[in-house]
Structures are given as C-alpha cells and as structure tokens.
Chain A
Amino acid sequence: QSALTQPASVSGSPGQSITISCTGTSSDIGGYNYVSWYQQHPGKAPKLLIFDVSNRPSGVSNRFSGSKSGNTASLTISGLQAEDEADYYCNSYTSSTTRIFGGGTKLTVL
C-alpha cells in the first residue's frame, strides 16, 4: 500500500496563496469523501485542518480550504502567514478499510 503522492515542498510569500496536491487512486481518494488534512509543526503532534474533503473543524482559520477532483485532493492556504510554515499531510480512507497518509509536504514561507 503506497503512500498518497504529495509534493515534497512548496513555498510562497506572505499574503500569497498556495495549493498542495494529494494524489491517490479510485480505491482511496477517488472512491470516498473521507479525505482529511493535517498541519504539523516541528516536534509537535499533527493538527486536524480539514475533514470530509472540505470541512473545517471549529477553530481552524478559514484561510485553509480543501477540495477534490477525481483521484486528487487539494489543500489551499490563502493569505500566507509566517506561522503557516509547517509540514502538511493528507489522509484518506481506503477500499481495504485501512487509512493511508500522503508523504507530506514542507511549506516554506519566504
């Protein structure tokens, strides 16, 4: 079971928007709307940002948004801030009833 495919790194300047992609297959992302995204700062536990493809938990900034098209999910961060610099992971439910993470994307705020 290979990890979902994410770009290793993305970068952007403060105030800009960036998008992180997460590509899977019809057996995971393409087959279910159980896609979630997590933010992880160094030395910290991951934090839930997005669930069910595009829903934000209470307390998460509306600068974070999620979407899905076919087998690819995306996380968009608008109005980049220095505090957004972190690692980001996608996750999906699979047809095998397992869960699978993406390899992670390091976001650098220039």
Chain B
Amino acid sequence: QVQLQESGPGLVKPSQTLSLTCTVSGGSISSGNNYWTWIRQHPGKGLEWIGYIYHSGSTYYNPSLKSRVTISGDTSKNQFSLKLSSVTAADTAVYYCARENDSMCFDYWGQGTLVSVSA
C-alpha cells in the first residue's frame, strides 16, 4: 500500500519561498510509470494541479505557476519536494502530494498540509 506524507512549515512570510516535502512509503519514486504530483486547494475552493516529477526526473508544471515552481526528487530518501517562490497571500492553501499512475489519475494522496502566507 503506497502512502504519502507531506511535511514543512505551516507559515511562510510574503515574498519568501514555500518549501514542502512528500515522503513516500510502499513504493519507489524512481521506478514505475508514475508521476509524483503536487496539488493545492485554496480555502473553500477547488483543486489546482501544480505539477509533477516523473520517475525519470523530468518535471512539468502548471503554466500559471511555472515561473515560481520547482519540483525535485531525492531517490535516496524516497521523497519529492515542492518549492514555490515569491509567495503571496494568494498562495495560502492546503497542499497535497499525490501519485498519478499510468491511467492519468491520482490514486494515492497525502493527507494534505495547510500553508498560510502571512507576515
């Protein structure tokens, strides 16, 4: 059973960089036809796809966030990470990490972590 767990600061100051890590157990981020993904949900709103890192290490991002997003992987720790730069209050959201499988669906999710952007 694949499990994902987000970790990172719950409060980030405006203009700083949001950094989150997703630790994966029960499966390897470096094998299989999976896309290790970040998704966020603004308070009371819908889901927004941020981007992914593929098992090969290639990445792809939502064009609306592309200039500020970096997703990277650490195969030795079986983790992948999200960095979002120059944050504003509009980046306050629950951030989820998830696995997208080869049917292009998100079959495993972390429980989510709320990140607030405030001075």
Q: Which residues of A contact B (CB under 8 A)?
A: 1, 3, 32, 34, 36, 38, 44-48, 51-52, 55, 57, 89, 91, 93, 96-104
Contacts and interface: CB of A to CB of B under 8 A. Distances in A.
B48 A101 contact: yes
A3 B48 CA distance: 9
For the complex of A and B, list the 10 residue pairs with the smallest distance between their C-beta atoms, beginning with the closest: A34-B104, A51-B105, A36-B105, A45-B109, A104-B46, A101-B47, A99-B49, A93-B104, A51-B103, A103-B46
Report the interface size class on chain B. 20 to 34
Given A45-B110, A104-B46, A104-B47, A98 B104 contact: no
Nearest to B108: A48
Given A100-B49, A104-B47, A45 B104 contact: no
A101 B105 CA distance: 11
B63 A96 contact: yes
28 contacts: A1-B63, A1-B64, A3-B46, A34-B103, A34-B105, A36-B103, A36-B106, A38-B47, A38-B106, A45-B110, A46-B47, A46-B106, A47-B109, A48-B105, A48-B107, A51-B107, A52-B105, A55-B103, A89-B46, A91-B49, A98-B49, A98-B60, A99-B104, A100-B49, A101-B47, A102-B46, A104-B46, A104-B47
